Amino acid sequence: MECKDIIRLMEELAPVRYACDWDNVGLLVGSQNKKVQRLMLALDPSEDVIDQAVREGVDMLITHHPLIFGSIKRVNSNDITGRKILKLIKNDISYYAAHTNLDSAVMADEAGKMFGLVNTNILSEEYSENLYKLCTFVPVSHALKVRDAMTREGAGHIGEYSNCTFNVEGIGTFKPLEGTNPYIGKINETANAQEMRIEVTVQKDKLDRVIKAMLKVHPYEEVAYDIYKLENEIDRKGIGIRGYIDNDMTLEEFAMKVKQVLKADTVRMCGDPVKKVVKIAVCPGSGKSVVEDALKAKVDVLVSGDIDHHKALEAWEQGMAVIDAGHFITEYFVVDYLRDYLIDKIYNTDEDLYANSVKLEIIKAEEKEPFSYIR
Ligand SMILES: [Zn+2]
């Protein structure tokens, strides 16, 4: 397999368009054409993880947190980021990061499942896209062909239904001018044609493909088609999840559940230990930025990491408890998730796409919670 094959699988799972504007995701170091026989997965691109990647002779490293965030003016061994980049380049390791796109695509839902949340919703919406409508006018004789070409490229997909189109017959008029080569009609004479107006909805990322496919089979020299941007929003994604637990618990009982589910050594909580909690928000990683959204949603408790003193106090004063289980432990599950996902995609696929490639070995870096506690 090549690095780009793995990137394709990663982006089927977590499309780059889901990433927050401030984020930096994708192939950050190395070549996408690099042959990959050993792949390492980790949460953090720490120097220790990169050293492990070098020792293990991996060809590609994927981490959740990106090694490079802001702009870099120089890459030298005087600073820690430069040193890491140099090490990756010297050892010909392609390095890829999937951060907030992975948060939106996977982590929120998985966190909801881990805590058994029901009636869930996105906690902090970061991404949605407008749907488009494409209408074209085609001689009735070619309607089926044009319709098929558009739906084959993914137009007309609504929920669990595909091939959704609307068709109405009418009369199209046009006058071919000098220099044209009309499919119907004569030069300088107004023609009437029995046409079908075909309407389909299309997602933005499929629009170009659908138009190209439609033009390819449409018999007219000049194809009339309209594109409308709709108010309908689809593909809503975001950071964190909120929902309800089946049976209410006290804050302390729920904090104990969080500790068990995450296999955390310790969790911190801010709030009244005997208060009943039923409406829960979970944001793996750093939850500071979602405190306001959780307050707006009137959840009883927010489970996250990296909540500072002031934020926790502000939340408590407004009736929302906070359970801080730590940034590392609330996110680490995603490394196992990615490993299972890639193995499943590469080895359990019916298509056997990678049958002829050398068996890819996927290894996890050894990582642990960076903070330790002295009691
Ligand atoms: Zn994180």
What's the gap in Å between 306 CA and the centre of ligand 1?
A: 9
CA distance 282 to 248: 16
What's the gap in Å between 335 CA and the centre of ligand 1?
A: 12
What's the pLDDT band for 355 if we cut at 50, 70, 90? low
User: Is 128-235 in CATH node 3.30.70.120?
Assistant: yes
What's the gap in Å between 331 CA and the centre of ligand 1?
A: 6
- Cβ-proximal residues to 179 (8 Å cutoff; 6+ apart), any chain: none
> In 3D, which of 361, 334, 256 has the Cα closest to residue 38?
361
Could you give the 3-state DSSP secondary structure of residue 12? helix
Domain formed by 3-102+332-364, architecture:
3-Layer(aba) Sandwich (3.40)
Q: Pairing mode, if any, of strands 268-270 and 38-42?
A: unpaired
- Cβ-proximal residues to 118 (8 Å cutoff; 6+ apart), any chain: 243, 244, 245, 246
What's the pLDDT band for 356 if we cut at 50, 70, 90? low
At residue 354, the pLDDT reads 63
What's the gap in Å between 319 CA and the centre of ligand 1?
A: 26
49-53 contacts, C-beta under 8 A, 24 or more apart: 49/365, 49/367, 50/84, 50/87, 50/88, 50/93, 51/87, 52/365, 52/366, 53/88, 53/91, 53/93, 53/365
Q: Phi and psi (nearest 5°) for 191?
A: -110, 150
At residue 232, the pLDDT reads 86
- Cβ-proximal residues to 21 (8 Å cutoff; 6+ apart), any chain: none
204-217 and 143-152 helices, crossing angle to 10°: 150
What's the gap in Å between 69 CA and the centre of ligand 1?
A: 13
Residues near ligand 1 ion, CB 5 Å cutoff: 285, 331
Residues 268-299 pLDDT 10s? 999 999 999 999 999 999 999 999 999 999 99
CATH tag for 107-126+238-328 (out of 3.40.50.2000, 3.40.1390.30, 1.20.1250.30, 3.40.228.10) = 3.40.1390.30
